[in-house]
Chains A and B, each alone.
Chain A
């Protein structure tokens, strides 16, 4: 019991020493829509930044966010060379709907499946949507939970700061 209380106290203060928003991508295996397995630690964009966005087909704000960015994506890519990886946390119930949905929306993102939440847990995501910005060296430099219309401007601003 005493041990428990000590560990709770530790938990309170541990964040003091934690690195708030930096860190490398974890090593977790996810699936691509074309049936391959990919280790996330190998993700890179040739020295250019990456956006990692957690979403699901049953999450309305997620779809709003990705649909909004989709209209600006070509422009963002031209200006910054960014690549957006959309990580779907749809489980066995709806993971089969991801590919048709993505194509039906006409998205140009790299989409991967994380059906049992392995990457979601490794990046400590509580709920979707949740966005991470990764710099050219593979460091996570910024993150944002939730989506409100206009948040994409903030993301773009942070993205340009990386250049």
Chain B
């Protein structure tokens, strides 16, 4: 009798995650099916739109790659947005569900349970727009302020408060806001998201000189030049009841920017300065912070060139002094590094801005060899060359720093001793016949893994990579694409080889298989294969896909913010839909 019971329990345990998968899938299908088959108009011309997305994974233990099975066995992240608009009025809400969240997600304060993740209402009258509730916003390129969402990364610092946008005259744009920032998500206890305790306030003005005062700049207008000036001020308030430090409760940051655009040139620069802001990330020093970024591009048909540089010094700006690196960020310090699309370079050694200080450079050329030229051949050929690098900021620690607590002195825009990262890559892409396209890529990485991934003691990584990609059309609808990737390094985990094959049957189906092989590392047990297969179905604005196999532990980055994704083995399911 006892044995029978135990068997039953095992069976129930096995069944449970599948039940959950089934339930989630049913939910998705109802929502999708409904949205596709009924074309009813909401009353009075209002519109309801939204989207849905879900990522789920059934985990199995795999000690060889360090994959764990959480007690719930199944993890899923799901989001559903609903937006209603009528005339000048808009309102929306986002439901989120983490039952439980996928392993390693999110990077910062945990998300648990189900509930409301975001809600807002907004009203537009002439040149005035008012939003209450949650909103996302960015000043300039974000050195002063950026509130944004990268849901696949688990970064969401949505503001919760009030925002006003106003256009007093042609070419003049003003924005102001006040509120708190989203910190985490707790369905069971709080019914959804919750905010940090700090308050953030900001104003921003932008003037397009040529649009605002056309009579003053006749020459620029004649030539089609556009000059835009912008300025921001952002400050945060956080009470100080820390027993050890006298913290400033209000910390301000100002920023200014200029953008000069002609038909061929675009020059952008932004500078930001922050007053004393002791926080955990800068080891509670009272030094001011500053940041400068410069970017110039020149492009004509068939040729594009860009060059960029920046220097960041002590510019982490968070509405919670003690917040972790992924939480309550008010501003955004963009890295200067190409975001790669091939699996190995994208997820093994990606670069993220070193928060408290760095100097970075990037240069890039895109060129198209025209049809009929020697290198271009009958169908032309495209070349892309990119180099980027980042160094520590040249700085000196202040000894016996017990009066002003400034921490260190720095020479702005001057390279320090440490090279965090360099990436040189070159890509050639050519259509060789009506049915074949080939792309060859070479990449060379120098990567300070000790610094960038916080793994002290690990040696600098020098890696060479080659990628051959080919695409072949069998017909108008069916095609195959393959990738052969190889990474060669003596450091870290040694060499990697990756092969990808992807069959697509337009417009609905795709099938893909990938194997990654890690070899040549120092330990023999590290020679591991990571096979994974996927199948997907797309219809209109909806996409379903399913994968089964091993997923290597890696770094997942969006926009220079990276999250560590643990190794996993099992079945994963993904649904996205827009309606």
Residue contact B146 to A103, C-beta cutoff 8 Å: no
**Residue B534 at the A interface, CB < 8 A?**
no
A137-162 interface bits toward B, Cβ cutoff 8 Å, 1 = contact, 0 = none: 00000111110111101100000000
Residue contact A148 to B504, C-beta cutoff 8 Å: yes
A25-42 interface bits toward B, Cβ cutoff 8 Å, 1 = contact, 0 = none: 011000001111100000
* Residues of B461-513 whose CB lies within 8 A of A: 471, 473, 475-479, 481, 504-507, 510
**Residue B578 at the A interface, CB < 8 A?**
yes
User: Chain B interface: which of A10-18, A43-51, A78-86?
Assistant: A10-18
Which of B226, B479, B578 is A35 in contact with, Cβ under 8 Å?
B226
B interface, size bucket: 35 or more
**Residue B540 at the A interface, CB < 8 A?**
yes
**Residue A7 at the B interface, CB < 8 A?**
yes
Residue contact B261 to A35, C-beta cutoff 8 Å: yes
Question: A143–B31 Cα gap in the complex (Å)?
Answer: 17
B160-186 interface bits toward A, Cβ cutoff 8 Å, 1 = contact, 0 = none: 000000000000010000000000000
Q: How many A residues have CB within 8 A of the partner chain?
A: 68
**Residue A136 at the B interface, CB < 8 A?**
no
Question: A92–B293 Cα gap in the complex (Å)?
Answer: 11
Write out the residue numbers on chain A whose beta carbons fall within 8 Å of the beta carbon of B366: 100-101, 103-105
Residue contact B148 to A146, C-beta cutoff 8 Å: no
**Residue B538 at the A interface, CB < 8 A?**
yes
Which of A96, A144, A151 is B306 in contact with, Cβ under 8 Å?
A96
Question: A115–B124 Cα gap in the complex (Å)?
Answer: 22
Residue contact A35 to B259, C-beta cutoff 8 Å: yes
Most buried by A among B37, B40, B51: B51
Residue contact B578 to A124, C-beta cutoff 8 Å: yes
Q: Given the interface contacts A35-B259, A148-B506, does A103 sit within 8 Å of B334 by beta carbon?
A: no
Residue contact A99 to B299, C-beta cutoff 8 Å: yes
Q: Given the interface contacts A7-B95, A148-B479, does A103 sit within 8 Å of B507 by beta carbon?
A: no
Residue contact B31 to A145, C-beta cutoff 8 Å: no
Q: Given the interface contacts A17-B42, A36-B226, A60-B341, does A95 sit within 8 Å of B141 by beta carbon?
A: yes
Question: A96–B364 Cα gap in the complex (Å)?
Answer: 11
Write out the residue numbers on chain B whose beta carbons fall within 8 Å of the beta carbon of A142: 540
Question: A123–B227 Cα gap in the complex (Å)?
Answer: 30
Write out the residue numbers on chain A whose beta carbons fall within 8 Å of the beta carbon of B279: none
Residue contact A143 to B540, C-beta cutoff 8 Å: yes
Question: A147–B226 Cα gap in the complex (Å)?
Answer: 35
Nearest chain B CB to A8 CB, angstrom units: 7
Which of B35, B95, B364 is A97 in contact with, Cβ under 8 Å?
B364
Which of B149, B505, B559 is A148 in contact with, Cβ under 8 Å?
B505
Which of B95, B208, B481, B579 is A18 in contact with, Cβ under 8 Å?
B579
Question: A101–B427 Cα gap in the complex (Å)?
Answer: 13
Write out the residue numbers on chain A whose beta carbons fall within 8 Å of the beta carbon of B114: 4, 8
Residue contact B226 to A151, C-beta cutoff 8 Å: no
Question: A78–B247 Cα gap in the complex (Å)?
Answer: 66
Closest to B300 in A: A103
Nearest chain A CB to B503 CB, angstrom units: 10
Nearest chain A CB to B545 CB, angstrom units: 9
Write out the residue numbers on chain B whose beta carbons fall within 8 Å of the beta carbon of A117: 136, 148-149
* Residues of B83-99 whose CB lies within 8 A of A: 83, 85, 93, 95
Most buried by A among B152, B192, B261, B298: B261
Closest to B50 in A: A124
Question: A22–B192 Cα gap in the complex (Å)?
Answer: 31
Residue contact A35 to B266, C-beta cutoff 8 Å: yes
Q: Given the interface contacts A57-B339, A150-B504, does A93 sit within 8 Å of B560 by beta carbon?
A: yes
Closest to A56 in B: B339
**Residue A59 at the B interface, CB < 8 A?**
yes
Q: Given the interface contacts A11-B82, A19-B42, A23-B49, does A153 sit within 8 Å of B476 by beta carbon?
A: yes
**Residue B301 at the A interface, CB < 8 A?**
yes
Most buried by B among A19, A23, A125: A19
Closest to A98 in B: B297
Residue contact B148 to A153, C-beta cutoff 8 Å: no
* Residues of B311-358 whose CB lies within 8 A of A: 332, 334-341
Question: A134–B180 Cα gap in the complex (Å)?
Answer: 38
**Residue B11 at the A interface, CB < 8 A?**
no
**Residue B77 at the A interface, CB < 8 A?**
no
**Residue A77 at the B interface, CB < 8 A?**
no
Write out the residue numbers on chain A whose beta carbons fall within 8 Å of the beta carbon of B34: 13, 15-16, 18
Write out the residue numbers on chain A whose beta carbons fall within 8 Å of the beta carbon of B137: 116
Known contacts A4-B191, A127-B152, A150-B473; can you find 4 more A-B pairs with CB under 8 A? A21-B541, A100-B306, A104-B367, A149-B473
Q: List 12 A-B contacts (CB under 8 A).
A: A16-B34, A20-B38, A57-B339, A99-B297, A104-B303, A104-B366, A104-B384, A106-B302, A106-B368, A123-B578, A145-B540, A150-B477
* 10 tightest Cβ-Cβ pairs between the two chains A and B: A104-B366, A100-B304, A150-B506, A35-B261, A103-B299, A148-B504, A35-B226, A104-B304, A58-B339, A124-B51
